[in-house]
Structure 1
Amino acid sequence: MIPDLLTGPGSEPVSLDEVKAWLRLDSSDEDQLLSTLIVSARMTLEAYTRRFFVTQRWRMRLDAWPAQTLRRRTLAIPFAPLSAVSDIRVYDSSNVAQTVSRESYRAAPTREAGRLVFLEPPAEPGRAYDGIEIDIDVGYGESATDTPESLRRAILALVAHWHENRGDAAETGAALPTIVLALAKPFRRERLT
């Protein structure tokens, strides 16, 4: 499976004003730096937790349906939280996309990784690679406040850490500061394989 980001979040889980208040900064001298740190902190914590915080649209590309999908008529969606499956396309041998009817599958929103359940076996792609495209919406919601509060606090703490330690501090061996790990760990999805 190859994931492609189609539409990033419309806003960040914390605003520039919230970060400036957290850091007790009044001037706008470092606004650009702080904005960049907010995005970096969100992306870092999304990677750590294996969750998306604010709604985003992704495309999953597959060469073929996994054998398990054809047998059980289910496909695991590895992204969390799953909001919706917006489109499924299967390319035929002429390289023309055939849209899979929404009535032929179910995908319930979930706070965890989701799954597609096909009511009938899905069509096999006709081309050898990237024959299947599945567009999904993931994230806690459109609004910053839809993101759980402890994840928002983890972003603030990580931005503060990076702002205060701009490469001049000795490495402690920890990838993330202890407070950030404590705030984010309850949301971390562990790998099963």
Structure 2
Amino acid sequence: MTFIITTPPAVEPVTLDDARAQVRVTSTQEDDLLTRLIETARQHVERTIRRALITQGWRLYLDDWPPGRVVRLPVTPVQSITSVTMFDADGMPLVLNLGDYDLDGISAPARLKVMAGVGASSRMLNGIEIDFTAGYGDAAANVPAPLRQAILLLVAHWYEHREAGIDAATASIPFGFDALIAGYRVPRL
């Protein structure tokens, strides 16, 4: 199973002003650094908890349907399935109809049930593509406050400790980060 992001989020869950306030900087001289830290912190939180925070597009590649035809999607919460496509041996796509599958976007991890009677791909590798939209919503306000705070905590920590080190302050994630994200972790597939 391979998955990639196809459409990145249009906004970040925290603003540049939020980050400036967190690190207690009033000038705009550090804006480029803070912008990079916000994006990197969001990506770190998303990877750690296996959730998309802001609406984004994803594609999952499968060789074949899993047992029971229940596909566990690698990122949650899933808003919708954009398309499910199977490829024949010549690479010709066959897009499944909406009635050929059912989405359980509430579960963590989210699940897609493919109905019996839907054939298998004749391509040996990556013969099935599932495109889906994931995230809490289009705006920062849709993201749970503890996850936004975890991002700000990372931004401030990385702002203060800009270089790799071996002491506890520079080599670790800041105290409180795990507590903020604990209730949002999705189990590994």
User: Please, what TM-score do these two structures have when normalized by structure 2?
Assistant: 0.91
Query: Is the counterpart of residue 144 in structure 1 residue 173 in structure 2?
Result: no
- Contact between 2:56 and 2:133, CA under 8 Å: does it hold in 1? yes
Write the distance in 2 (CA, Å) between the matches of 1:130 and 1:99. Answer: 15
**Correspondent of 1:172 among 145, 168, 179:** 168
Give the aligned partner of residue 99 of structure 1: 95
Q: 1:5 to 1:148 in 2, by over 3 A?
A: same
Give the C-alpha shift of residue 111 in structure 1. Answer: 5.8
Let me know the Cα RMSD of the aligned residues: 1.8
Give the C-alpha shift of residue 90 in structure 1. Answer: 0.4
Write the distance in 1 (CA, Å) between the matches of 2:74 and 2:162. Answer: 34
Give the aligned partner of residue 15 of structure 2: 15
Range with greater deviation from structure 2 (95-104 or 15-24) = 15-24
Structure 2 alignment gaps of length 5 or more:
none
Give the aligned partner of residue 186 of structure 1: 183
Structure 1 alignment gaps of length 5 or more:
none
Q: How many residues align?
A: 188
Give the aligned partner of residue 62 of structure 1: 62
Range with greater deviation from structure 2 (79-88 or 182-191) = 182-191
Write the distance in 1 (CA, Å) between the matches of 2:164 and 2:126. Answer: 45
Range with greater deviation from structure 2 (167-176 or 97-106) = 167-176
- Contact between 1:73 and 1:121, CA under 8 Å: does it hold in 2? no
Range with greater deviation from structure 2 (162-171 or 10-19) = 162-171
Counterparts of 1:88-167 in structure 2 under 5 Å? Answer: 88-110=84-106, 112-167=108-163
Give the C-alpha shift of residue 170 in structure 1. Answer: 4.5
| SS of residue paired to 2:47 | helix
Give the C-alpha shift of residue 189 in structure 1. Answer: 2.1
Q: 1:105 to 1:148 in 2, by over 3 A?
A: same
Counterparts of 1:36-55 in structure 2 under 5 Å? Answer: 36-55=36-55
User: Please, what TM-score do these two structures have when normalized by structure 1?
Assistant: 0.90
Write the distance in 2 (CA, Å) between the matches of 1:4 and 1:29. Answer: 34
- Contact between 2:85 and 2:96, CA under 8 Å: does it hold in 1? yes
Write the distance in 2 (CA, Å) between the matches of 1:139 and 1:27. Answer: 32
1:37-69 CA-to-partner distances (Å, cap 9, x unmatched) read 001111111111121111111100111122x1x
After TM superposition, what 4+ stretches of structure 1 lie above 6 angstroms from structure 2? none
